[in-house]
Structure 1
Amino acid sequence: MEKPQTTYYKTPIGIAEITGDKNGIQSISVLDDGTISEDVLRAKTPECLQECVVQLEEYFNGKRASFNLTVNPKGTKFQIKVWKSLLKINYGKTKSYLEQSKALGDVKAIRAVATANGKNPIWIVIPCHRVIGSDGSLTGYAGGIWRKKWLLAHENPVKQQSLF
């Protein structure tokens, strides 16, 4: 079994820690700035993670709305099913936890769905930030509500109306 490799990439919302191997990306999490040294940030990115870094950079530069990466998250069958459903939420759109539960076929599973979303190991690429409360509130984001708010604003910037 191949040992997963790790790289770090500086984003506007913190340092992305990317882990994976030739079978795909296993995790992307975001750390606070200052938790990783500049030397580590400058280290060569393993070949199996290079495309992920390129696509994240394009996403943060506003040049990418969807990802084309092989993902290989580790989770239960139910978690994988929930995470796959997140991939159906389009860029710039949101869905409530209730809507996600209904789409998965069990409206009563809302808490289990929310818990699975919270354990999503591949942030941004598997867009759990696009799931909000039924009342429109930005609830439950492991990376902090401020990051969820930033990502949603990044994907759906308010367009200034012309006065003339």
Structure 2
Amino acid sequence: MRKLIESTFVTLDGVIGSPEKWGSPYWDEEHAEYGESLFSSSDALLLGRETYEAFAQVWPKMERAEGDYAARMNALPKYVASRTLKAATWNATIIEGDVAKEVARLKEKPGRNILKYGTGELDRTLLEHRLVDEYHFWMFPVIAGSGQRLLDGLDTTHLNLVKTTPFASGIVVLTYAPKE
């Protein structure tokens, strides 16, 4: 069975919104290598509508500048959970109807991991149905002060710390799995 892995950037005060504003000073070779290892262990992406629309505007234009990584990002199959998106381009399938059932079905298919970028409304469904196998929270040494917060408004959920990966830049990736 494939794993569903969530990868999320977060500040010390729990902000996830606008990482391009607070995260870029920390994006270095270690950061890129860790991200690449998550990415290369996956053969599909799961995205919410907002993340999908943001990525679809940027990644197709990056292929010339970013080479193989962007080519692979553009080629990977993408599954987009949305109640409002009517059409998808950029190698994507819209998940309509019962998102939990469809994600569980995708996890049963043969293949490598499914990587989920972005944190938002989709996480409520994934948490409720215990569909995420690993969370990779990239804790940045930044206090943003305001912005969209990580998993704000969700019910209490207990997780097990599986691994910590510190970077010289001060980022620490905290890898968690659901408590049994």
Q: Same fold (TM over 0.5)?
A: no
Indicate the structure with greater strand content.
Answer: 2
